[in-house]
Amino acid sequence: MKAKVDMENNEVKYSTVSIRDILANNGIRLTKSMGQNFLIDTNIPKKLVRLSGIDEYCGILEVGPGVGALTQELCKTAGHVTAVELDKRLIPVLSDIFKEQTKVSIIQGDILKQDIREMVDKYMPSLDYHVCANLPYNITTPAITAFIKSNIFRSITVMVQKEVALRICAKPGSKEYGAFTVYANYHTKPEILFDVPPECFLPRPKVTSSVVKMIIREKRLLNAKDEKLYFKVVRAAFGQRRKTLINALFAVFNDTHSKEKITEIVTECGFDVHIRGEKLSTDEFMELCVFFR
């Protein structure tokens, strides 16, 4: 079926009615399994793009464009937008909306199965790479991890569930603080920009969303060998949150370190023997890691 999209001055006027019409005209019913929630408040994409800090020198990777509300705002500012959409049914819609826009590339596929570096190099050479997206809820953590691991982006600005944003930006000792917090803060400098209520989406999610911006650190804090050990220590510390740091570490490092040695390491770092891993900051984990070399 050919996409039917009402255009005005080469732009779609997004609203609850227009998005419903686009979906109905193309026989599309939204699928919960894909985590699809389309923005209907046009102020949100504008604010997201403005606060992301992108400009004409930026090549943007967008994941989950849906029917293009954010894509339309991105291409007004960015040098190029590569939009990756999993739902094959939406490709004709997006292709129709952006058929006159040379700064947008529409890709059908699963971002978690893509060679991200190869893809952005192909469609956006000579630009500074950034991520800007309303991420599908069901791939938030693995997608952010993939963006960081690709080691090609300067920033990641994404709309996610508020609880995920709080986890990324959590402070040591809080209930949200965990291994993914440490991972995100080791590689980036994250901050929550603003919240987005459920009524800004179609269909309405049951939770509030937040836009989080993550500035990629320019230099690695550790070399590759120490980095591998660092995250082994972090995973061990959070593997059994109810245990003390000493017991959690011993459960993983007992083949190379005695409990007495681990106790000595923890106390030499200035930590109480009863402390739990959730109390340590990113820097304190690095200090602890030094003694496990």
Domain ranges in the chain are 16-216, 224-290
CB 292 within 8 A of CB 253: yes
Partners of residue 63 on adjacent β-strands: 84
pLDDT computed for residue 1 by the predictor: 47
Structure token digits, residue 186 = 């080791």
Q: For the ranges 20-34, 205-219, 269-283, which has the lowest average pLDDT?
A: 20-34
pTM assigned to the model: 0.92
The mean pLDDT value of the chain amounts to 93
Q: How far apart are alpha carbons 178 and 232 in whole angstroms?
A: 14
Q: What is the CATH number of domain 224-290?
A: 1.10.8.100
Q: Which two tokens stand for residue 271?
A: 């930590």
% of the chain exceeding 70 in pLDDT? 97
Cα dihedral sign for 259, 265, 270, 271? negative
State the pLDDT at residue 44: 96
Give 189's contacts (C-beta < 8 A, 6+ positions apart): 214, 215, 217
16-216: which CATH number, 3.40.50.150, 3.30.300.30, 2.40.50.100, 3.30.470.20? Answer: 3.40.50.150
pLDDT band at 180 (very low <50, low <70, confident <90, very high): very high
Residue carrying structure tokens 């090549």: 59
Summarised one tens digit per residue, pLDDT across range 8-63 is 667 888 888 888 888 888 888 877 677 788 999 999 999 999 999 999 999 999 99
**Closest-CA residue to 26 (of 3, 5, 51, 42):** 3
